[in-house]
Amino acid sequence: MRALVGLVFVVIAAACVAAADTMAVLVFQDGRPNALALEDQQKVGRLAVEMLASASYEASSAVAEQAWLDARLRPHLYVTFMPPRAVRFRFSTTGPATEQEVQVAEMMMRIVGEWPEHIMVREQGRTRAFAKYGQREAQALRDALRIGATTR
C-alpha cells in the first residue's frame, strides 16, 4: 500500500512539472518503488515504448490479467503516461499481424529472471499483454536499466 501511495506522489509530481505529455518511470524492487532521475525516466520510458512497438503478438485477456498480477510481486518496471500515449504497431492474436493503435496509460514488465514473457499495458481500464518483441529493443532497455542479459 505504501508503494502505491509513493507511486501516486511520483505521478502527481510529474504531472505538476509538465502539464502536457507526462511520463513517470519507477523500478520496483523488494516491493518498493525507486524513481529514476528525470533524464533517465525519459530514456527508459522511450525505450520501453520502442520495445512494446516491436511486439507482434497479443495474449488473451485472461493471460494479461494474470501476468499483471504476477509481475507486481517481482521486481518490475512500471511506466505511466498522462495523457495515455498512442503507440501504433503490427500485432495479432491469431492470423496475420495488422497495424493497430494502443492507448498506453500504464505499462509494466518484469525485469529479473526470464526477461519478460509479456509487456503488460493498461488501456482504458483494460489490461493487455504483448509478446514476441525485438531482441535489439529489449537489449537497449536492459542496457539503460543496467540489467545484465538474462535468458528469455
pTM for this one? 0.82
- Ranking 2-6, 109-113, 114-118 by mean pLDDT, the lowest is 2-6
Q: What is the DSSP string of 47-86?
A: HHHHHHHT--EE--HHHHHHHHHHHHTS-EEEEEEEEEEE
**Residue among 73, 75, 25, 16 at smallest CA distance from 49:** 25
Residue 33 has pLDDT above 90, yes or no: yes
89-98: list long-range contacts, CB under 8 Å, 24+ apart.
Answer: 89/52, 89/53, 89/54, 89/55, 90/56, 91/55, 91/56, 91/57, 91/58, 91/130, 92/56, 92/57, 92/58, 93/57, 93/58, 93/59, 93/60, 97/56
Computed from CA positions of residues 25, 28, 33, 34, in that sequence, does the dihedral angle turn out positive or negative? negative
Residue 129 has pLDDT above 80, yes or no: yes
Give the domain ranges of the chain. Answer: 2-145
**pLDDT tens, position by position, 43-82:** 999 999 999 999 999 999 999 999 999 999 999 999 999 9
Residue 27 has pLDDT above 80, yes or no: yes
Computed from CA positions of residues 109, 143, 103, 132, in that sequence, does the dihedral angle turn out positive or negative? negative
Give the pLDDT confidence score for residue 35 in this predicted structure.
87
Give the pLDDT confidence score for residue 105 in this predicted structure.
98
Give the pLDDT confidence score for residue 151 in this predicted structure.
37
Share of the chain above pLDDT 70, in %: 82
